[in-house]
Structure 1
């Protein structure tokens, strides 16, 4: 009986094995047929098809994206560092020993003025931060700028402003150092991005990163202010060579449906870098500004294993077609549609950059304390990043930009009206309301700026993508040249910065009506691809986009299978 059962079980196992072998032979055959079909399709397909089929976010892509995110922190540290290493230090005219002994001076540091009298004499000295007057029997015998220089409430080496006496008539030079850096960034955005399109992304990225480390460290050893300005110029230029090329490399590593992931992550990395800047400068507040600069330079280190894509590689390995020659800047001048898109996107970059920077450097007016105002202004970017990450894949690009600028523009209008109209300013709790409106404006500006880094590269084909992003970034540097002087404007006309920024933001929704939607579509490879796409009617364009999304979703499921 046992033998019969064993024999029966053996037959059942053999039948099961046969059926299993048959099924196992069918599955690989079907899978091989599907892979062969997909492989034939990939030979004539786009780069997105290859990335989708291979798997959009494997360990290699994750490591590369992480390494390419590091320059975001570095950029945050150097972009706004001037407000710490070049902070304003309370100062007064040095004592006038020619007329009065220093022992006879009443010189309280808490006061901006002092008055001193010579014993058994009627000589008196009346001094302010930048002006001094000497009288004898009420007769003026001297009046003018501080002849003996200045004394400061902190050691002179705490800020390059006090070390080089950039006060009074030369006070604007401290802001000019940031303007010079913005000029360098503007030229760097133009030069290095054009080089990246012609020479390749990786060579420009590597060389720029190494030079950035050298220049950032050399800045701490500047013997005079002129040398310091030269290093700030080079720092701004090299920063663009690192940031823009690294961003393009990230965008090209990821297929269309998942292209919003780099902005999602960078939205948390950037404010983290700004908070790190505040923490470093707070911990180094008792140190020389040169030591603080060396600490910041230490973050400009280079770490990169390999980049799979260089300029033109996608055309050589994916498509059998002959690659189109790089049109360069001529594509922006010959094609009216591309020129119009470029002009509009450059204006949006200008408006967002100006709004973002001014809201940070004037954040001390929110609470009266710089560190607290700065922290609140940066912390509000974190909920903006969470909001962006949760809905970026569900909302179209133009809708994002329109909504963000409406929020920023309306909030700034309310903050200006409620904070500067005498009748409104007297209402109880109005200070808190103005603070909330200002932070809400910063929220909208942050969201709008974040989506621009995703939207702009999607507008241009591969042959001019880095140049297009570089042009937009170049124009935005004009904001960096003007923004440092907003502190002076805010001191004399508190309503002016908010009024200007609100007007700039409210114009953006009108201009967006002329811009195309890029959500979910492939990156164009050539100018001809872009022209063909722009010539399509919106309805047909939408149908193709929906069809493309269906194909890519199916491809993801098949890869998972």
Structure 2
């Protein structure tokens, strides 16, 4: 007979290994910095278009020596009055006392208020009937992000975090520099699509490494640090663009691309995720990294290796069978795991193969994983739609566009930092619900005030304030989601789960521009839509398991246990919570 052990009793505590290496020492500071520098490399390519592709004020050029072929049916003579607008020329003729007005497109081109080299929109004359092409490049980039988040996250789970991180950052660097030498909008759009894929691949992989480097109690720090770095990266973009506002957009693009060159230092100094190596039974590499980290942190290498050997034997163990058995099957509810005999310290034990290779199809094969995925994908979509939609529909600040951009980023920092303190006090699920509820409620209230008292100064001010509070809240929910989502998937599906969520968020990002059109027809439409979707997200989150205080799940079996409440969260003293 086989003896089945409770998985909760043998649950690995990899945090012990991290602590034994000298947690938060020089090694972890270096590795964390290398991972978080990605913030600048992903923020600059995504938002550089704000300053390289803005629409410069313009008017139609004077007709001059335009031939009659260009004038079509419009008659122009010495008594004709011409008024040059942005996209058309108003032609007024007085014929026998009757005033006749005709309109012509800008047949001679456009005059711009600034040199055309300051923006690719002006350089390539992408205004009026061609105005949508500049925005199309941004939409296509978000489409590329969806593909990149899906493809590279799968590769990172299969081949490791480090090689995918470095490869995508190399590609991103080459493409960012290449964008500065685009000779037309078609080439530019193609490069933006590719940049979106590599940008998402490097960003998600770097974040996954950072999450897996931290212990259970400090995982909320990942989202906070990542959020603050993102906000600081975006804020830095404004002063750089201001200093180079009189230079060609190509020079600005080159200057912004320089931040990606740290990939050369990354290649020599970044280490693979210990959790991923252990989950894939690459123990020799784990030992090498442990020796390196303990050396840099001045810790006891023998103690760290002893802890690792003890923990690594527990990571896989869930079932003990008779030595004569070669294969057994453990069933728990709707899930089943293949169990193989392996040698551990000279003894034959039945072990769950923790290095089991999952594919993205496993997100759909297992009920608990599919249930989790469906809810998180919806939340990712809503967050992206609301976040970018608020940017497009919020009342614009009067004044300098560089200052406006800078201030619009500043408001995100309180939303990011507040999440960290909330997560210290409350569970992941509670925090996600609170921020989504605040976003939904504030946006709904903003709509009510806008429709009832929006014509008054006080009503307009309150509606704007509530709209800004909605942005504060959705920023907080985004950061909470980045912390919560990776904890809901097993190790070899973690990046795939996060990547699929990110891919779904691109649907929201690509839909967000249409919220501006909705606002033109129904001013309260976007706020009502965003608010309602956020409240629905609040309701759905309550059906996800709580992950605070839990070790990151390694197998799908552990995900099932989270739903059946068999895996108990660890208390701050490291004991199991039996309540």
Q: Shared fold (TM-score greater than 0.5)? A: yes
C-alpha distance in structure 2 between counterparts of 1:53 and 1:312, whole Å: 18
Structure 1 222/431 Cα, relative in aligned 2: closer, same or farther at 3 Å? same
Equivalent position to 1:385, from 393, 407, 416: 416
- 1:266-312 CA-to-partner distances (Å, cap 9, x unmatched) read 22211111110111122222221111111111111213213142674
How do residues 219-234 of structure 1 correspond to structure 2 at under 5 angstroms?
A: 219-234=179-194
> What is aligned with 1:71?
38
Q: Equivalences for 1:18-97 in 2 at 5 Å?
A: 45-97=12-64
Q: Would you say the 8 A contact 2:389–2:513 is kept in 1? A: yes
Q: Which of 117, 121, 133 lines up with 1:161 in the alignment?
A: 121
Structure 1 counterpart SS, 2:453: helix
Q: Distance in 2 between matches of 1:471 and 1:514?
A: 20
Are 2:537 and 1:508 aligned?
yes
In structure 2, the CA distance between the partners of 1:345 and 1:125, relative to structure 1 (3 Å rule), is same
Partner of 1:27: none
Please list every run of 5 or more consecutive structure 2 residues that lacks an aligned counterpart in the other structure: 1-8, 68-74, 284-311, 314-343, 345-350
Give the alignment's TM-score, normalised by structure 2. 0.79
Range with greater deviation from structure 2 (49-58 or 328-337): 49-58
Answer whether contact 1:366 1:435 (CA < 8 A) is retained: no
CA distance in 1, matches of 2:512, 2:29: 36
Secondary structure at the aligned position of 2:42 is classed as: helix
String of CA shifts for 1:504-553, please: whole Å, max 9, x gaps. Answer: 211111111211111110111111222233233xxx55xx214x543269
Number of the residue aligned with 1:438? 467
Q: Which has the higher strand share?
A: 2
Aligned to 1:180: 140
SS at 1:524 equivalent: coil
Q: How many residues align?
A: 488
Q: SS at 2:24's partner residue?
A: coil
Pair 285,276 (structure 1): closer, same or farther in 2 beyond 3 Å: same
**Higher Cα Rg, which structure:** 1
Question: Could you tell me how far 1:389 is from its partner in structure 2?
Answer: 2.7
CA 1:413–1:376 in structure 2 vs 1: closer, same or farther (change >3 Å)?
Answer: farther
Please give the residue correspondences for 1:53-452 in structure 2 after superposition, counting only pairs within 5 Å.
53-98=20-65, 121-138=78-95, 143-301=103-261, 302=263, 303-304=265-266, 305-309=269-273, 312-315=276-279, 316=281, 317=283, 318-319=312-313, 320=344, 321=351, 322-363=353-394, 365-367=396-398, 370-419=401-450, 421=451, 424-452=453-481
- Structure 1 equivalent of residue 574 of structure 2: 551
Any idea what the Cα deviations from partners look like across 1:192-228, whole Å, max 9, x if unmatched? Answer: 1111111111111111111111110110110010000
Choose the corresponding residue for 2:524, options 495, 498, 508.
495
Deviation by residue 1:309-343 (Cα, 9 ceiling, x = unmatched): 26742132323544342121221111122111101
Aligned equivalent of 2:511? 482
TM-score w.r.t. the length of structure 1 is 0.81
**Retained in 2: the 8 A contact 1:363–1:373?**
no
* Structure 1: gaps of 5 or more residues: 1-41, 101-115, 554-561
> What SS does the aligned partner of 2:481 have?
helix
Q: CA offsets, 1:374-407, max 9 Å, x none?
A: 3332111122233223332221111111111111
CA RMSD of aligned residues (A): 2.6
- Aligned: 1:458 with 2:466: no
**Does the aligned pair in 2 maintain the 1:215–1:234 contact within 8 Å?**
yes
- What SS does the aligned partner of 1:300 have? helix
Distance 1:450 1:260 in 2: 9
Counterparts of 1:499 and 1:250 in 2: how far apart (Å)?
37
Deviation by residue 1:119-169 (Cα, 9 ceiling, x = unmatched): xx3222244321224344347696432111111111111111111111112
